Amino acid sequence: MGQRLFFLLRLCALPVVFFACSNSGTADTAPPGEDAAPADAGPDDVPAPEDTPEPIDAPAAVPASVETAAPATVRAGQAITVTCTLRDVLGNALPTPMGATPTISFVAPDAVRDESGRTLAVRVGEVTAACSFPMLSISDATPARVAITPGDAARVTTTLDRASIAAGETATATCAVTDAFGNAVTGAPATLRLDPAGMGATVTGLAARIERAGMYTATCVVPGATGEGAALTVRPGLPATLVIARSPDMPTYALGASVDIQATVSDRYGNRIPDAMLTYTSSPMAAVAGSLLTFEREGRYTVTVRVGGATEGDRELVQTTSFVVDSSGPAIECAGPAHGSMVNAAAGSMVTFQARLADTTGVRSVTVSGRAATVNDMGEVSVPVTTRWGVNFVDVTATDTDGRENSRTCAFLASDRWNGEAAHLTDGAQMLLRQDAVDDGDPTTPITSIDDVLQRVVNSQGLRDQLHSSLLAANPLKANSCDQRVCVFSACTCVFRSEVNYERSELNGPNTTSLSLVDGGLRAVVRFENIRVRLRIGGTLSTSGWVNVASVEVGVTFDLASSGGRPRATVRPGSVTTSVGRISTDFSGITGAIVDVVVSLANGTVRNLVSNTLRDYVSTNFSRVLDGVLSGLDISSLGATFSVPRLDGATPTPLRFGVNVSSVSDTAARLRFGLGTLLSTATPAHARASRGIALPPGDTGEPTVSTPATVSVHVAVLNQAMHSLWRGGWLDVGLPASRFSSSLPAGSRFDVTGLLPPVAFLRADGRINLDLGALEVAFTMPGVPQPFRISVGARASGAVSLSGNTLRFGGVTLDEVKISVTSESIPMSERDALVMGIRALVQQYAERSLNDALPAIPIPGFTIPESLRSYGLPVGAELGIRSPSLGNARQHFELRGGFGQR
């Protein structure tokens, strides 16, 4: 750094140096009698002394020490910016000699990590940083101390106080939150979420009280954090109810017949107890093998079923069923598939139908569905029949040797796909979003795309506060040090010293966002414009000015997946990009060395602090907001419980509704969320056997996404509801017959028992078909001691329309009706009125089954959570489909419309 004295004398004339020069050195004023050089004189105007000495070399300043500067506090995940400053023996800052490279040593080294040339803080605690210059044999003996505090919440671990509880009990969760580097984070707001949700589950704080038995996942939800939930088993409680059913269910059985007495034991919340202790007794006595009883004598039998062991409230749980065993047997018995049974068979496949016939005079002929059949020596008929999906009807007509004719219609439900009664229907409801629902390019209020939510974030006060805090924490941006020195002979004097501090910042905008669909996630690009950072310069000169950053653009990709039963958004590793636009400075009244200082700071420290802060804010807060919005996916159009009015006007049948997230998938064309649906009755009313919910064929493929938002609801969700109503006894009613036909005698009555649940499927023409089968009607007339037993089945169809959130089924017609008498003949005087009344009864069953089973179509939506209030978002508002229109395709009700705040 040596300079010639002659050059230094010329330097004295520069306007930034406020001192004079003389033969003997420097002084504040010129010697008496001599005039100082004018302030605006150039280097060539400096008057030469009378005796000009030979130029000599001033000794170069020698680095004597190195000073380490680092921020006092950083958060895990932030870069630790360390500055190494060489100083001479007087403490003046020196430039780094060419070829001298500083080495920075950290203690403890495991608290930091090198990432792309940046030193990241990773472990909470204190770390020291020390600079050294090996080439100069200089090291800092007083290293800088840096306190590392936890970063943003990144992972949450859920633990439960109990892994198994009984229905109606409570489990409490503990949420352990860590940042991305495993440091414990305290004070993070946490909520508890259950999967599946609804269905008699109540969450208060971090405690969950659950009434429905089954397997659950309890997950702590912390904004911006991901983590797997904890498994929770909910066991049924003590037995509280008992219901029984006969299989096959007939009023009269042949001698030697075997009857299975099916029993369902449930706790107080309707949970089935499969291992309940049961005893079966018969009066008169019969052969008992478990629940199967065989009757070898004629007579009227009563079978009693009792629950043993402890029960709810120590109540005695007993049920009885009575029937007749007759040597003549029924004229026509549906032996297999049994009347009212469910068969696993694909539409169009062949099943073997068997009927058993009995008559004291013998059977002369029999037809099955209009085709002649052969009766074997045992009085049995066996013929192949082609099945259709839904309820199948087989008409059997038999004529005895005396020419008397009898007929019966046997009904069974056929399907080759079933969904368990207690299982969620995978993708029962779906929401599909097109690019214009993700970002419609028009940030508006109310919200009309997901990107509108992000637009609120980048223009929130929180961003301004974080930028201000980050820059303020970095003060001083430049420590007080010498920027310009003059050395004469062996003496050096600092002629300009400065310190630079951050004062305030402005995000003048416009700040814009864009959000795009990409395979597996969403790509966000944020552009901040017109960023201004105000700095104050102290030291020799005191002034303030602005560093202007034309723009900063941040890009980040978010992976979308299902975790803990909810959609989650996380930053895709390696996807964050940052670019910085032109940087300029605006400081009045400064020249020379200080300009270099400011420009260097603007293009180095300030540029990095601003871009890093905006980058970290976008990646962290966008992840938190997207995660918060998407994890709020739910179905609010249906409550967790609702009641369906009964046909007889009695107490409505309660149903429970629950959902889980069954799938999340994303392509460059659409974003799809699938929700599993589950409907169940609170308390079963009977124990009839069931394979589950029948799923109609032809539901493959994905809806065509032709509008910003599409909601697709499988018709099997309606079947779930009707199956639950059937299980809850909704079909089993007693009604005055005169309500359906005024021609029937006053006081006559229809007592209906539904052996099969109604099932529906969508036709190619957009209408819906509804099958009703094995409706057993006991028709009682005044003065007649025994009821007439009638078996009824029907296939109905109707038009589908949408009214608000409710599906409406209008123009319901009975396309096929089956009525057969299975006991004593009905007087001809009553037959026509009875048929008219039965048709009216079935018509009402069809209309009410379709229109009452689901009070509202389950429409998914995203509810903005309380945790996002600080961004100025409308907490509690729901984002979803708007102004939908209805179309039906592939066994789905499809709603198409716009997207936004509802």
Fold of domain 337-416: Immunoglobulin-like (2.60.40)
Q: How many Cα atoms sit within 13 Å of 115 on the Cβ side?
A: 12
* Nearest-angstrom CA–CA distance, 563 and 586: 50
* Nearest-angstrom CA–CA distance, 481 and 309: 88
pLDDT, average across residues 311-336: 85
Contact (CB, 8 A) for 752 and 775: yes
At 486, the amino acid letter reads V
Share of the chain above pLDDT 90, in %: 52
- pLDDT classification of 592: cutoffs 50, 70, 90: low
Each domain of the chain, given as residue ranges in start order, spans 5-45, 59-149, 155-235, 337-416, 419-433+634-896, 435-482+504-631
For the chain, what is the mean pLDDT?
A: 86
How would DSSP label each residue in 276-294? --EEEEEES--EEETTEEE
3-class secondary structure for 655-709? Answer: EEEEEEEEEEEECCCCEEEEEEEEEEECCCCCCCCCCCEECCCCCCCCCCCCCCE
* Nearest-angstrom CA–CA distance, 685 and 731: 10
- pLDDT classification of 59: cutoffs 50, 70, 90: low
pLDDT value of position 328: 62
Least confident of 189-203, 420-434, 792-806: 189-203
Core vs surface per residue 834-865: b (16+ CB within 10 A) or e: beebbbebbbebbbbbbbbbbbebbbbbbbbb
pLDDT, average across residues 438-460: 89
550-570 pLDDT, tens per residue?
999 999 999 998 877 788 888
Residue 34: other Cβ atoms inside 10 A: 10
pLDDT value of position 128: 94
62-73 pLDDT, tens per residue?
889 999 988 888
pLDDT value of position 390: 97
Contact (CB, 8 A) for 222 and 175: yes
Quick check: 617 pLDDT over 90? no
Same fold, 59-149 and 155-235: yes
Which residues have C-beta within 8 Å of that of residue 491, sequence separation ≥ 6? none
pLDDT value of position 566: 82
Quick check: 15 pLDDT over 50? no
* Nearest-angstrom CA–CA distance, 674 and 714: 11
630-686 pLDDT, tens per residue?
988 888 776 778 899 999 999 999 998 988 888 999 999 999 999 999 999 888 999
Quick check: 7 pLDDT over 50? no
Residue with tokens 């032809």: 698
* Nearest-angstrom CA–CA distance, 686 and 754: 10
Intra-chain end-to-end CA distance of the chain, in Å: 71
Here the tokens at position 714 are: 């499988």
pLDDT value of position 889: 84
Contact (CB, 8 A) for 217 and 195: yes
Least confident of 1-15, 73-87, 667-681, 866-880: 1-15
Contact (CB, 8 A) for 89 and 64: yes
115 vs 838, residue with greater confidence? 838
pLDDT, average across residues 704-731: 95
Q: In the CATH scheme, what is the code of domain 59-149?
A: 2.60.40.10
Distances (CA, A) of 500 to 69, 72, 485, 541: 14, 17, 18, 11
- pLDDT classification of 33: cutoffs 50, 70, 90: very low
* Nearest-angstrom CA–CA distance, 725 and 730: 5
Quick check: 711 pLDDT over 90? yes
Say whether 842 sits in a helix, a strand or coil: helix
At 816, the amino acid letter reads E
Quick check: 57 pLDDT over 80? no
Quick check: 612 pLDDT over 90? no
588 vs 850, residue with greater confidence? 850
* Nearest-angstrom CA–CA distance, 598 and 587: 9
Quick check: 702 pLDDT over 60? yes
Here the tokens at position 264 are: 């369902």
Domain formed by 155-235, architecture: Sandwich (2.60)
pLDDT value of position 14: 36
* Nearest-angstrom CA–CA distance, 880 and 878: 6
756-800 pLDDT, tens per residue?
999 999 999 989 999 999 999 999 999 888 888 889 999 999 999
Domain formed by 435-482+504-631, architecture: Super Roll (3.15)
Quick check: 29 pLDDT over 60? no
Quick check: 582 pLDDT over 90? yes
DSSP class of residue 755 equals S
Here the tokens at position 133 are: 């210059």
pLDDT value of position 360: 57
Nearest CA among 338, 354, 349 for reference residue 417: 349
889 vs 800, residue with greater confidence? 800
- pTM value? 0.79
* Phi-psi label, residue 440: left if phi above 0, alpha if psi -120 to 50, beta otherwise: alpha
Quick check: 384 pLDDT over 90? yes
pLDDT value of position 362: 74
Q: In the CATH scheme, what is the code of domain 419-433+634-896?
A: 3.15.20.10
Say whether 439 sits in a helix, a strand or coil: coil
333-377 pLDDT, tens per residue?
888 899 999 999 999 999 999 998 876 567 788 999 889 999 888
The reply to whether omega before 757 is within 30° of 0 (cis) is no
